[in-house]
Amino acid sequence: MNQAKIITARHALFTLCCVALGAAVTTDVSAAEQDNRVPAQSFEFHHGDVLGTSLDLTVVAPDERSAATVESAVLGEVERLRLILSGYDPAAELARLNASPVRTPVKVSDELAEVLGLYEQWNRRTAGAYNGHLGDLIALWKEAERANRLPTDAQLALVVKTLKEPAWKVDRVQKTAERLLDQQINVDSLGKGYIIGKAVTAGRTASKDVTGILLNIGGDVRVWGQPPVNVGSTWTIGVADPSKAAANDKPMTRLNVPPDRAVASSGNYERFYTIDGKKYSHILDPRTGRPTSTAAATVIAADSATANALATSLCVLGPGRGMELIRSVPGTEAMIIGADGNVVRSARFKALEAASDKQASPAESASAFPKDFQLTIDLETVQTKHKPYVYVWITDADGKHVRTLGAWGNERKYVKEVREWWKLAKDDPTLMSVTHATQKAGKYSVMWDGKDQQGKAVAPGTYSVWVEVAAEKGPHVAKSATIECGTDAATSRIEASSAFLEVSIHYGPRR
């Protein structure tokens, strides 16, 4: 699927910080067997262009071979289902259905029939707030953006009228589906969650030795089993602050998610239509045709498809009706940030939140940068078929490492190929634990708050920003640029290369 064409933005808003923390694995075996068993370890896998976004996978297993077996099964299932649910690949099953004449039954797989059925279910449960045939409405807003003119009331009313009609009919006995309207069917919203759930199932059945999986595709997260060892029995998922766009910004909150649960988020700030200088949310209300105003929503549910459908629906319905919907779906919890910035939580959502961060220790001193100043780095990699390893860090005027800001791709077998960064990391295990965040495929944004790796404020002065990108069997480039971090705003750049486009560096008030 081409994520750039998806109407929801669950991946962009809230799971920027997705950290697999630890727990002892308990199974029904004897003490002697436990003593002889190889301890579980955590293996990390990162792929930079999966379903139009990035994929991060944590596997808890006794050895690398078992973890790699899970990775292969997960990727295989994702690709199998992509070739069913993609509306953009002409070879995909959904694309072929969209190309068929109206009211002509077409043979479909059980998976496509199931996803279309789920759309029908959520459309009914939300009284039309969730819809699977928004193609004409999206096209209308894209054209409005190109023309720099808002759609007219008459245009919106015409499209909304068709959105109230059934767009397809599925015959589960004959295993056929037919389009009832001359509109493109788009299942990206719920489809990605459906794929995530199936991929985790494929991974857990691929190896009998795996004891835990965390799969994050574009910010939609599914966990199964136990986390790595020695921290707790839940997985910790960071929920990013929608007002802070950098991948390494402090999360708004952290959730202690039990095994076998899914987390998805949606919101209006990462992607939008810009018309006459004003931004309009890309999340559109099928009942009015207009952009939604709810800032964001995060949902915890039993499966990823449900979490995805609810996260988008809550952004359309808003806090009041959205929480009514959550209360009607057993086993779900949610947090909604309204258009006014007010935060509403369901009954048990807060109970799943981790304790507030402790007060900063003396080592975690206030930044020496001017108030509200930060350094922001925006980069975009050159897309290849091989997964990229992307690292961003700061060095001082003497060339000494100050802070690693982002590390995408932590599989230790290959990370040493990121040679410049590895010189710093190989003797410092704290660097190896840097959390990698999820963003749109190939695009990364990180910030620096003027503190070193231990949380200590550094002195104002000249610093170097390093970017290193290495792709398996692809380009490997490490480049840097200096910038003065003092009392005045400043900009710098790293020239484009075979591995990434020009890197933008900005020092000044938070944008």
> pLDDT tens digits for 49-63?
788 887 889 999 999
Per-residue pLDDT band for 278 (boundaries 50, 70, 90) equals very high
Residue 144 backbone zone (phi > 0: left; psi -120 to 50: alpha; other: beta): alpha
Report, as an integer, the average pLDDT of 400-412: 76
User: Between residues 238 and 113, which one has the greater pLDDT?
Assistant: 113
pLDDT tens column, 388-399: 788 899 999 999
Radius of gyration of the CA atoms of the chain, in A: 23
Instruction: State yes or no: pLDDT of 384 exceeds 90.
Output: no
Positive or negative: CA dihedral 142, 148, 152, 155: negative
Helix (H) or strand (E) holding 64: helix 64-85
Indicate if the pLDDT at residue 313 is higher than 60.
yes
Average pLDDT over residues 199-226: 94
Task: Answer with the residue of higher pLDDT: 1 or 409.
Answer: 409
Q: Is the pLDDT of residue 431 over 50?
A: no
What number is the average pLDDT over the span 327-342? 94
CATH number of 373-509: 2.60.40.4070
Closest CA to 215 of 30, 444, 15: 15
- pLDDT for residue 17: 36
Alpha helices in 126-207 (DSSP H): 135-147, 153-163, 188-206
pLDDT(20) > 50: no
Extents of the domains making up the chain: 373-509
Q: What is the structure's pLDDT at 349?
A: 95
Nearby residues of 280 by Cβ (< 8 Å), 6 or more positions away: 141, 272, 273, 274, 291
* Stretch 301-327: mean pLDDT: 96
Task: Give 347's pLDDT tier (boundaries 50, 70, 90).
Answer: confident
Give the pLDDT of residue 474: 75
Using pLDDT thresholds of 50, 70 and 90, give the confidence band for residue 305: very high
Q: How confident is the model at residue 267 (pLDDT cuts 50, 70, 90)?
A: confident
The yes-or-no verdict on residue 495 having pLDDT over 80 is: yes
- Give the pair of three-digit tokens for residue 269: 């700030």
Instruction: State the average pLDDT over residues 479-490.
Output: 95
Residue 417 in this model has a pLDDT that exceeds 80? no
**Which residue blocks in 183-251 are alpha helix, DSSP H?**
188-206
Residue 66 has pLDDT above 90, yes or no: yes
Q: Which of 106-115, 213-222, 337-346, 387-396 has the lowest mean pLDDT?
A: 387-396
Q: What is the pLDDT of residue 18?
A: 35
Closest CA to 392 of 447, 324, 462: 447
Query: Which pLDDT does position 396 carry in this prediction?
Result: 93
Predicted confidence at residue 363, as pLDDT, reads 45
pLDDT beyond 50 at 34: no
Question: Looking at residues 81-95, what average pLDDT do you find?
Answer: 95
pLDDT for 430 beyond 90: no
pLDDT value at position 460?
Answer: 93
What does residue 257 show for φ and ψ, rounded to 5 degrees?
-95, 125
**Alpha carbon of 40 to those of 215, 221, 225: distances in Å?**
18, 21, 12
> Contact at 8 Å (CB) between 398 and 179?
no
CB burial string 353-370: b at 16+ within 10 A, e below: ebeeeeeeeeeeeebbbb
What percent of the chain stands above pLDDT 70? 81
| Higher pLDDT among residues 106 and 510, named by residue | 106
Average of per-residue pLDDT across 265-282: 86
| Length, in residues, of the chain | 511
User: What average pLDDT does the structure give for the chain?
Assistant: 83
| pLDDT(458) > 50 | yes
Residue 207 is predicted with a pLDDT of 96
CA 25/CA 40 separation, integer angstroms: 8
Amino acid at 57: L
SS3 of 81-100: the string is HHHHHCCCCCCCHHHHHHHC
Higher local confidence (pLDDT), 112 or 423: 112
Percentage of residues in the chain with pLDDT exceeding 90?
58
* Confidence band, pLDDT 50/70/90 cuts, at residue 412: low
Report yes or no on whether pTM surpasses 0.85.
Answer: no
Tokens of 448: 């620096």
Choice among 184-198, 241-255, 317-331 with the minimum mean pLDDT = 241-255
pLDDT of residue 118: 97
